[in-house]
Amino acid sequence: MNPRSEIHARLAASLKEARTAKGLSLDAVAKLSGVSRSMVSQIERGESSPTVATLWNLTQALQVDFAGLLEARETPRIEVIRAEAAPVIGGRGVGVSIRILSPAEAVGVHEVYDLTLAAGGKLISDPHGPGCREHLTLLDGAIEVTSGEESQQLSTGDTARYFADRPHRIEAVGGPARAILIVQNS
């Protein structure tokens, strides 16, 4: 590989790694940086050489070190996302906090979430795509899971597997609750 190709490859990998580590989509980075979505995508694929101004806008949007982008780094064998760095989804329910545990590239295929529900907290969802299933394991508390017309009560340690291609709901019963939710083929 020639030195120019190596630099492009490192730059592409570093920018994509920074974006996915923050749980941001290409659209989100485009909005934050003022760089078009297609240009961000081309840079991440190593198909385009960004200007210094474009690179500066991207590093500011991603909050990464401009100078460190081109340093050769060994890919870690164990990727760690610290608790405080995991992205959180808001506005999806009442009294619910949803932390995203799966990598951005798994969206729509195999998504993993950490759900924290306050007493009476509810996560009410519209149907996902055809054949979508959810697997919910209750770590603490009690919840009621509803999929379509059927409902089940879960206690700590229980797992529910259900179709999510119909209206469905997760609701804390009698106090706060915490669960791990896996969504497949949404």
Q: What is the pLDDT of residues 70-110, one digit of tens each?
A: 665 555 678 788 888 888 887 677 899 999 898 877 788 89
Query: What letter would DSSP give residue 104?
Result: G
- Separation between Cα atoms, residue 130 and residue 124, nearest integer Å: 18
Element (H, E) at 169: strand 168-172
* CA-to-CA dists, residue 152 to 66, 143, 169, angstroms: 52, 8, 11
Interval 6-21 mean pLDDT: 82
Lowest mean pLDDT among 46-55, 126-135, 136-145: 46-55
- The confidence score (pLDDT) of residue 117 equals 96
- Alpha-helix runs per DSSP H in the chain: 3-21, 26-33, 37-44, 52-62
pLDDT tens-digit readout, 58-71: 888 888 877 767 66
Q: Say if residues 73 and 50 touch (Cβ distance below 8 Å).
A: no
User: Tens of pLDDT along 138-150?
Assistant: 999 999 999 999 9
Task: Pull the structure tokens for residue 156.
Answer: 């700590």
Whole-number pLDDT of residue 62: 83
Could you report the per-residue pLDDT of 150-163, keeping only the tens digit for each?
999 999 999 999 99
Residue 152: what are its φ and ψ, rounded to 5°?
-140, 145
Tell me the C-alpha to C-alpha distance, in Å, between residue 81 and each of 17, 60, 78, 92. 12, 21, 10, 23
> Could you read off the pLDDT of 15-43 as tens digits, one per residue?
888 888 888 888 888 888 899 999 988 98
Whether residue 1 is predicted with pLDDT greater than 60 in this model: the reply is no
What is the predicted pLDDT for the residue at 73?
55
Q: Given this model, what pLDDT does residue 53 score? A: 86
Residue 44 has pLDDT above 50, yes or no: yes
- In sequence order, which residues have a C-beta less than 8 Å from that of residue 44 and are 6 or more positions away? 12, 15, 16, 19, 26
